[in-house]
Structure 1
Amino acid sequence: MARKVFLHVGAPKTGTTYLQDRLFHNRVSLERHGVFYPVGNQPDFFRPALDLIDRPWGGMRKTVHGEWDALVKRVRRHESDTIVISHQLLAGARPDRVEKAMSDLGEGGGAELHIVYTARDISRVVAAEWQDQMQRERKVTFARYLERMQTAKQSRSAAWFWRTHGLPDVLSRWGRNLPPERVHLVTVPHDGASSEVLWRRFCDVVGIEESWAPVDSDRHNRSLGRAEATLLRRLNARIEAEELPREDYRHMVTEVIAKRTLAHRDGRERVTMPPSAFGWADQVADSWVEWAELAKVDVAGDLDDLRPRHPAADVEWVDPDAPRAKDVADAAIDALVAVVVEASRSRRPVASRASNLIRRVKGRRS
């Protein structure tokens, strides 16, 4: 019996962080039961995934050369019956890079390759991805971002968003040479469901018993609120003129300000789509469900999870681009405190540059 390689290719913002963290924390126990999670010296597969998809990614491409081939070697050397590899960047791989992965892990490695793709309804994905954009130097408003997503051509993968979230495109690209029973679609349950639901669905696909992975994960990609996202958008516009090195931006803005501070503030107001956009979202969901049914791929979960839940008629929509000025100011103070504390704890050059940057930006306002 050929061993199996399960390649979880995304999509971003579909619980991938939680799944990967739980696999990582239980990797020793899983290996005792014949399931190998070959992360090597890193906590995840970001570096091999970036190497495979061959994209610039903020100047990081040159730092990951050879990481994919090193991962393939670890997989081929190991004798476990089941291999699990997971990273959301893989969803965006071009066809030629998909062929390389298929050859390296399937035919070339003498294994039975399976593709796993987690997907959630488009209304939640759009809001989550926009907030993520604010943590990566972007300045686009939510209204403009939503407009771009609605007008981009899914079939041609005109934008990275659709290249990773266009369900028919991703699964057609990755599953082109596989029988449908080896292409697995895991649906993310609607809000309110426990993370365990998604975990069990994923485990059912891979063949993991619950007792093999007893350690839960408390790592989730927390969402920003209206005020927090607006603060980052305005900060990005100011920082652009300062030509801050990207590695410094990733540390001070993405990590210290956004992930460690703003994403943990109490009372964050949720970012949601306007009611007028749900007709479009329904059409996207219909196309995804129809494709999955016709393609006869293996579905773990319920395809209705891909259909957006419309807001109640008596619920007033709150524009993500127009938060209260006081809320943005409060978020800015929290961010400033976080930067000051970080600067006081560190003697790295990045800390002093961040302090100088704050002074220059504040000076322009006075």
Structure 2
Amino acid sequence: MARKVFLHVGAPKTGTTYLQDRLFHNRVSLENHGVFYPVGNEPDFFRPALDLIDRPWGGMRKTVHGEWDTLVKRVRRHESETILISHHLFAGARPDRVEKAMTDLGEGGRTEVHIVYTARDIARVLAAEWQDQMQRERKVTFARYLERMQTAKQSRSAAWFWRTHGLPDVLSRWGRNLPPERVHLITVPHDGAPSEVLWRRFCEVVGIEESWTPIDSDRHNQSLGRAEATLLRRLNARLESQELTREDYRHLVTDVIAKRTLAHRDGRERVTMPPTAFDWADEVADSWIEWAELAKVDIAGDLDDLRPQRPEAGVEWVDPDAPRTKDVADAAIDALVAVVVEAARTDPPQGPVASRAARVMRRVRGRRS
């Protein structure tokens, strides 16, 4: 039996955090059953994935140089019959980087490479990606973001989204030289389904028995709400002139404010597409389903999961860009509390956070005088 490598290439916002965390926690048990999850000393494959796709990513390109080759060496040294690698950044790889990955992992035909792709309906993906953008210094409104995705697929602002979420493009790029039975499409079930459904579909594709992974994961990428996303968008606009380093932004805004605080507030109002966009979303779903059927790729799940669920009749749509002022103010207070607690916990009175705050206040006073 040929050795197999299953390369899970994404897409972002399709349950990848849950899948990868569960694989990580059960890696010892999996290895005992012949499935190697070669993360090494890291919790995931972010660094080798970023190295492979060769993108700047906030100035991190140089810091991850060589990580992909290190991963390949780790894979080749191991004797397990099944290798499993997973990260959503792989989906955005250019054709030349895809070729490198397939050559490195295929070892001249000695290893059978399989591509795995998890896909979610475009309506939920768009809302999730826009909220993620707000955690990465972006300031675009949801209405403008949706317009860009609908009308400018090849523009610089929309290219990354479609390079990772354009199902036909991703699977054509990654599966170009593979037989269709080695290209696996896993559909993400609609809202309300337990996470176990996605996990079972994933296990079915890779050949994992559920008993091998007894430790569940409680990691899910929690969504922001209307007020929380608006707060971050306005904060990003204010911070633009404050010369905050990317490292400081990631720690204080992305981690402390967004992920630890805003994403866990009670009563978050869900971000959804306007009813007028669902005809377009249905067209996207139709094109994805048609491609999958014609390409005859292996499908785990139901292709109808890729069709957006329209709102029920009579349910009024709430504009994500126009939350109640009180809700934004409440979210802002929670964010401020989180930053104050973090500063008190991690810094002495004249430590880094206090020093940065003092510099910002001096600049503000200078502009007012």
Pairwise TM-score range, normalised by the shorter structure: over 0.9
Equivalent position of 1:23 in the other structure: 23
Alpha-carbon distance in structure 1 between the residues aligned to 2:233 and 2:239: 10
Answer yes or no: is 1:61 the counterpart of 2:33. no
Q: Deviations over 1:148-167 (max 9, x none)?
A: 00012369996100000000
Once the 2 structures are TM-superposed, how far is the Cα of residue 240 of structure 1 from its aligned partner? 0.6
Alpha-carbon distance in structure 2 between the residues aligned to 1:351 and 1:65: 30
* Letter matched to residue 203 of structure 2: C
1:155/1:84 Cα in 2 relative to 1: closer, same or farther (>3 Å)? farther
8 Å Cα contact 2:226-2:270 kept in structure 1? yes
8 Å Cα contact 2:149-2:158 kept in structure 1? no
Which region of structure 1 is more displaced relative to structure 2, 149-158 or 173-182?
A: 149-158
* Letter matched to residue 90 of structure 1: F
Match of 2:118, SS? Answer: strand
Match of 2:230, SS? Answer: helix
* Letter matched to residue 336 of structure 1: L
Equivalent position of 1:237 in the other structure: 237
Alpha-carbon distance in structure 2 between the residues aligned to 1:361 and 1:123: 42
User: Aligned-pair RMSD on alpha carbons?
Assistant: 2.0
Matching of residues 156-167 of structure 1 within 5 Å: 159-167=159-167
Alpha-carbon distance in structure 2 between the residues aligned to 1:257 and 1:203: 34
Alpha-carbon distance in structure 2 between the residues aligned to 1:155 and 1:118: 24
Once the 2 structures are TM-superposed, how far is the Cα of residue 6 of structure 1 from its aligned partner? 0.2
Match of 2:75, SS? Answer: helix
Answer yes or no: is 1:102 the counterpart of 2:102. yes
Equivalent position of 2:251 in the other structure: 251
Once the 2 structures are TM-superposed, how far is the Cα of residue 257 of structure 1 from its aligned partner? 0.4
Alpha-carbon distance in structure 2 between the residues aligned to 1:223 and 1:215: 24
Equivalent position of 1:8 in the other structure: 8
Alpha-carbon distance in structure 1 between the residues aligned to 2:144 and 2:158: 16
Alpha-carbon distance in structure 2 between the residues aligned to 1:292 and 1:156: 27
Match of 1:177, SS? Answer: coil
Matching of residues 1-366 of structure 1 within 5 Å: 1-108=1-108, 110-153=110-153, 159-347=159-347, 350-353=352-355, 355-356=357-358, 359=361
Match of 1:118, SS? Answer: strand
Q: Deviations over 1:332-355 (max 9, x none)?
A: 000000000000111285423553
Identity %: 85
Q: Deviations over 1:255-294 (max 9, x none)?
A: 0000000000000000000000000000000000000000
Alpha-carbon distance in structure 2 between the residues aligned to 1:19 and 1:128: 17
Match of 2:277, SS? Answer: helix
8 Å Cα contact 1:121-1:308 kept in structure 2? yes
Alpha-carbon distance in structure 1 between the residues aligned to 2:164 and 2:82: 25
Once the 2 structures are TM-superposed, how far is the Cα of residue 361 of structure 1 from its aligned partner? 9.2
TM-score, normalised relative to structure 2 = 0.96
Once the 2 structures are TM-superposed, how far is the Cα of residue 356 of structure 1 from its aligned partner? 3.6
8 Å Cα contact 1:342-1:351 kept in structure 2? no
Runs of 4+ in structure 1 deviating by more than 4 angstroms, as ranges, are: 154-158, 357-365
* Letter matched to residue 195 of structure 1: S
Once the 2 structures are TM-superposed, how far is the Cα of residue 358 of structure 1 from its aligned partner? 7.0
Alpha-carbon distance in structure 2 between the residues aligned to 1:281 and 1:156: 21
* Letter matched to residue 113 of structure 1: V
8 Å Cα contact 1:122-1:306 kept in structure 2? yes
Alpha-carbon distance in structure 1 between the residues aligned to 2:203 and 2:157: 30
* Letter matched to residue 160 of structure 1: W
Q: Deviations over 1:31-67 (max 9, x none)?
A: 0000000001100000000000000001111110110
Once the 2 structures are TM-superposed, how far is the Cα of residue 201 of structure 1 from its aligned partner? 0.1
Match of 1:159, SS? Answer: helix
8 Å Cα contact 1:154-1:166 kept in structure 2? no
Q: Deviations over 1:91-142 (max 9, x none)?
A: 0000000000000001347210000000000000000000000000000000
Q: Say how many residue pairs are matched.
A: 366
Once the 2 structures are TM-superposed, how far is the Cα of residue 183 of structure 1 from its aligned partner? 0.1
8 Å Cα contact 1:340-1:355 kept in structure 2? no
Alpha-carbon distance in structure 1 between the residues aligned to 2:260 and 2:95: 36
Unaligned runs of 5+ in 2: none
Alpha-carbon distance in structure 1 between the residues aligned to 2:36 and 2:176: 26
1:142/1:174 Cα in 2 relative to 1: closer, same or farther (>3 Å)? same
1:357/1:84 Cα in 2 relative to 1: closer, same or farther (>3 Å)? farther
1:114/1:345 Cα in 2 relative to 1: closer, same or farther (>3 Å)? same
Q: Deviations over 1:67-94 (max 9, x none)?
A: 0000000000000010000000000000
Alpha-carbon distance in structure 2 between the residues aligned to 1:144 and 1:160: 16
Q: Deviations over 1:305-352 (max 9, x none)?
A: 000000012000000000011100000000000000000111285423
1:157/1:290 Cα in 2 relative to 1: closer, same or farther (>3 Å)? farther
